[in-house]
Amino acid sequence: MDLRAVLVDDEQLARDELGYLLGQLGGVEVIGQAGNGVEALSAIDRLQPDVVFLDVQMPGLTGFEVARRMLDTHNESHIIFVTAYDQHAIEAFEVNAVDYLLKPVEQARLELAVQRARRRIEVDRMDRAATAAIGGTSTAVQAGLNAQERAGLNAQQRAGLNAQLEKIIQLVAEKQGRRERLAIKVGERFLLVQADEIIYASLADDNIAVVTAQHMGTSNYRTLDELQARLDPDVFWRVHRSHLVNINKIKEIVPWFSRNYILRMKDPKSTEIPVSRTQTRRLREYLKL
């Protein structure tokens, strides 16, 4: 029997591509689509699909927020997350999913995910059939107790999954708040650079200078505080009131007066950036100096 599926993605082309791949695979009937989280919840509630292919990053409700609401309503549809996140980040996403698929979706990986969904759905159906087949008064009483035990276990599982989803939703929100690419003005042009390519940013003459290995430009952010808020705090350190550095782009740490340090950066000029007294302690602890 074909699996009944709903596809959820804010990009129509992504839904079309996934629908095409499922058609090539066979054994899956796409019964509905949704372009955002609100539409997804409505379609899932109305259609009760066997499986939901759920994009993670969407405007409004994210895929994880949709999954959380499905848990809250005891929806029995199985979830396969579809995401552009890398393999490392995906490990956390398996908390309430049959599987996950990385974009661009590969046919062989999609087939494996569908097989996993089919096996899980078959186990669920067998469990329900066995429960329905139980007869007799004493057996019915025992079945009721078993059902209560399963209900309690499911409630505990749902509570645990909800807590995990809450943490992941927060992480996704924080990640979405950060910029992976920034625009810097170089001459009369604006260039887009990857955040991890930035070596340092410094406040100079009421402008924020941003330096990469290939370019030196200025940022449209008004303050270093604003720029820092859009970057990964584990990577970009405010080592001085006027300087923000990428700790992965430090070439050398030079001891200075009064047990302070100067950072020699990996830009073409090997720029030297002072470390404030308050940040010196953090630097020592981090690098075991």
- pLDDT digit string (tens) for 36-81? 999 999 999 999 999 999 998 888 888 888 888 888 888 889 999 8
pLDDT of residue 250: 92
- DSSP state at residue 94: G
Q: Which of 282, 278, 72, 41 is nearest to 165 (CA)?
A: 72
Helix, strand counts (H, E) of the chain: 8, 15
- pLDDT value of residue 162: 56
DSSP string, 163-215: HHHHHHHHHHHHHHHS-SEEEEEETTEEEEEEGGG--EEEEETTEEEEE-SS-
Residue 105 DSSP label: P
Give 80's strand partners: 53, 99
Distance CA 280, CA 249 (A): 17
Indicate whether 149 pLDDT > 60.
Answer: no
Q: What is the mean pLDDT of residues 182-203?
A: 90
Model confidence at 280, in pLDDT bands (50, 70, 90)?
A: confident
4 to each of 50, 73, 89, 123, 289, how far by Cα in Å?
5, 20, 28, 16, 59
Q: Look-up: residue for tokens 């830009």?
A: 267
pLDDT of residue 160: 58
Contact criterion met (CB below 8 Å) for 151 and 186: no
Confidence of residue 131 (pLDDT cuts 50, 70, 90): low
- Minimal CA–CA distance to 286: which of 260, 259, 247? 247
Q: What is the pLDDT of residue 43?
A: 96
Taking 60 as the threshold, does the pLDDT of residue 179 lie above it? no
Q: Which residue has the higher pLDDT, 232 or 272?
A: 272
Q: Give the burial class of 141: count Cβ atoms within 10 A of its Cβ; 0-12 exposed, 13-18 middle, 19 or more buried.
A: exposed
**Cα–Cα distance, 102 to 274 (Å, whole number):** 42
Over 50: is that where the pLDDT of 97 sits? yes
- What is the pTM assigned to this prediction? 0.52
Write phi, then psi, for 205 (nearest 5 degrees).
55, 45
**According to the model, what pLDDT value does residue 144 have?**
45
* Higher pLDDT among residues 280 and 97, named by residue: 280
Alpha carbon distances (Å) from 16 to 22, 85, 280: 10, 20, 53
Taking the C-alpha atoms of residue 129 and residue 133, their distance in angstroms, rounded to an integer, is: 6
Q: What is the separation of C-alpha 90 from the centre of its chain, rounded to a whole number of angstroms?
A: 7
Indicate the DSSP class of residue 27. Answer: S
Confidence at residue 130, expressed as pLDDT on a 0 to 100 scale: 65
Residue 148: band (very low, low, confident or very high) from pLDDT cuts 50, 70, 90: very low
CA separation for the pair 281, 278 (Å, rounded): 6
> Judging by beta carbons within 10 Å of its beta carbon (0-12, 13-18, 19+), is residue 218 exposed, middle or buried?
middle
What strands lie across the sheet with 250-255, from one edge to the other? Answer: 250-255, 261-265, 272-274
